[in-house]
Chains A and B, each alone.
Chain A
């Protein structure tokens, strides 16, 4: 099922990726090709087949509910593009 430009614009918004208007059409074509190609899975009989949830058989273990790391605010903030008073700074979100 080919994607139209409006759908691509919407996916791009959901993914928070700005796509220039003049690239939307070409992108819609590329994505439609890929989706058309993966659509061949529709022909596989998966009746009664469980979706894979674990790649290899293993039991997930629970760790002790204790603090094992922390108290490293400087390390956490070290890569921030913008910081203020020990916080990450972002454009204003509340009026």
Chain B
């Protein structure tokens, strides 16, 4: 019955473990087998079967002695290879981190470990999380488990494409990603799973390979909203090692979900998110989403977020600027790749020239330019001012509504290789998700339907800072109404 085990949700698996109907070891073996069978999708940078089985047996032993560490004890999960993990290499999918194994564990992965979660492996991603297709990985692209009627190999989205594909392909029950401009929500949408970016500061960034420090945030990718609530409850919380992690209490997200419905909830539909060129199917799904929430007792009203169109250009100044600064540490001296040179400068240049892929190079150069003398005010300071305006738009909107409903992405999954020679076309994938990062707000993508090609589409909710409870509640209402039951072609074929 190993196939059955990979079809469970986190909460169902937790119940079965509690009832002694299954062991963590059997659950883990089923997922390790699924991961092995899915190798053609290139989901994992590194599978960790031995460690996983060891963790699973330890979980079973704990349970036998009546000691249970929480709802993830014995649950197989995958971790984006952007989180530093002790004893397992961390690559950020970059050549420049060749041979690097962190001597410490990131706070988020440490919390998962301490909660008894079983790590089946570390997932592929866009290099340094820079990309929306997973195609910039040094280890090659991930294939989406969905092909639909296209018959082509499609991107899983990015940058947490490996994590989203891992959950969709049933190689784990949940995964952890990071979201800087949509990197959890966009791949979740393209792979037909749930992906949540919590409020900036909700989860510690300590031990996550930094891309853009004022935007990066860790979050769960799961198959249900309830599972997202469960995982978020484990990974959230203040961490003295991250000065930007918030000193706010972590509510019991799962209980909040169980207790609440959406009667009386006010939902805003931002008119500026009607973007030219968005397929009718996505517009229609968006309207259906509003109807679903209305039918569930919420009220829906039009709102305005007037600076929306400037979010992407502001993002493509702020994120590369912060990246150019963060990535200065890859110099061939302390870790990773070193390419020799005659002088120290030449060694730096050779190492970074060889070690960074084209997209990372592009962004570091853009960032270097916008921060350089004479351009700092015109680009960087200007973008930060625009960012204030974008955040202010949301602040005003949240005086009237409780959540904002939008599509997650402007298209379904597209073929691997497409948009690679047009960076701006690729950047437009994040048009609906970037504003939440610029404003630090929580957002979630919920699978809501299939397009004419049979590919999944997500709906996206944005909430007030530190109000993940409301976002999750509304997400569950969407989930209940959408009754999304699509199964990826890859999984269907194996049945």
How many chain A residues sit at the interface, stated as a range, is: 35 or more
Minimum CB distance partner of B100 in chain A: A79
**A56 interface residue, CB < 8 Å from B?**
yes
Partner of A44, one of B307, B354, B356, B379: B307
Minimum CB distance partner of A17 in chain B: B352
User: Nearest-CB distance from A1 to chain B (Å)?
Assistant: 10
Given contacts A15-B368, A34-B362, contact A56 B386 (CB under 8 A): no
**B349 interface residue, CB < 8 Å from A?**
yes
Partner of A50, one of B246, B340, B354, B388: B388
Q: Name B309-354 residues within 8 Å CB distance of A.
A: 310, 313-314, 316-317, 324, 331-338, 340-350, 352-354
A44 B389 Cβ-Cβ under 8 A: yes
Could you say which residues of chain B place their CB within 8 Å of the CB of A93? 343-344
A75 to B86, CA, bound (A): 11
Given contacts A15-B364, A31-B362, contact A91 B334 (CB under 8 A): no
User: Nearest-CB distance from A88 to chain B (Å)?
Assistant: 5
A24 to B314, CA, bound (A): 25
Residues of A within 8 A of B (CB): 3, 8, 11-20, 27, 30-31, 33-35, 37-42, 44, 46, 49-53, 55-58, 60-61, 63, 72, 75-76, 78-82, 88, 90-93
A30 to B362, CA, bound (A): 8
B365 A55 Cβ-Cβ under 8 A: no
A91 B341 Cβ-Cβ under 8 A: yes
Minimum CB distance partner of B335 in chain A: A79
Residues of B within 8 A of A (CB): 99-101, 103-104, 199-201, 214-215, 240, 243-244, 246-247, 307, 310, 313-314, 316-317, 324, 331-338, 340-350, 352-354, 356, 361-362, 364-366, 368-369, 372, 378-379, 381-389, 391, 423-424, 439-440, 465-466
User: Nearest-CB distance from A47 to chain B (Å)?
Assistant: 9
A31 to B345, CA, bound (A): 24
13 contacts between A and B (CB under 8 A): A14-B372, A15-B364, A15-B368, A19-B361, A31-B369, A49-B389, A55-B214, A55-B440, A56-B200, A56-B465, A75-B104, A79-B99, A93-B344
B356 A49 Cβ-Cβ under 8 A: no
A81 B386 Cβ-Cβ under 8 A: no
User: Nearest-CB distance from A90 to chain B (Å)?
Assistant: 5
Could you say which residues of chain A place their CB within 8 Å of the CB of B382? 41-42, 44, 46
B385 A37 Cβ-Cβ under 8 A: no
Could you say which residues of chain A place their CB within 8 Å of the CB of B386? 41, 44, 46
Could you say which residues of chain B place their CB within 8 Å of the CB of A38? 313-314, 316-317, 379, 383
Cβ-Cβ contact count across A and B, 8 Å cutoff: 163
Minimum CB distance partner of A56 in chain B: B440
B335 A80 Cβ-Cβ under 8 A: yes
Interface SS of A by simple majority: loop
Partner of A81, one of B333, B353, B384, B389: B333
A33 B424 Cβ-Cβ under 8 A: yes
Given contacts A41-B310, A41-B314, A90-B344, contact A49 B335 (CB under 8 A): no
Could you say which residues of chain B place their CB within 8 Å of the CB of A40? 310, 313
Minimum CB distance partner of A51 in chain B: B384
A8 to B382, CA, bound (A): 22
A18 B350 Cβ-Cβ under 8 A: yes
Minimum CB distance partner of B97 in chain A: A79
Could you say which residues of chain A place their CB within 8 Å of the CB of B354? 18
A80 to B337, CA, bound (A): 9
A35 B423 Cβ-Cβ under 8 A: no
Given contacts A15-B365, A30-B362, contact A79 B336 (CB under 8 A): yes
User: Nearest-CB distance from A30 to chain B (Å)?
Assistant: 6
A63 to B240, CA, bound (A): 8
A-B complex: 8 closest residue pairs judged by Cβ atoms = A18-B353, A51-B384, A79-B335, A81-B338, A55-B440, A75-B103, A46-B385, A18-B349
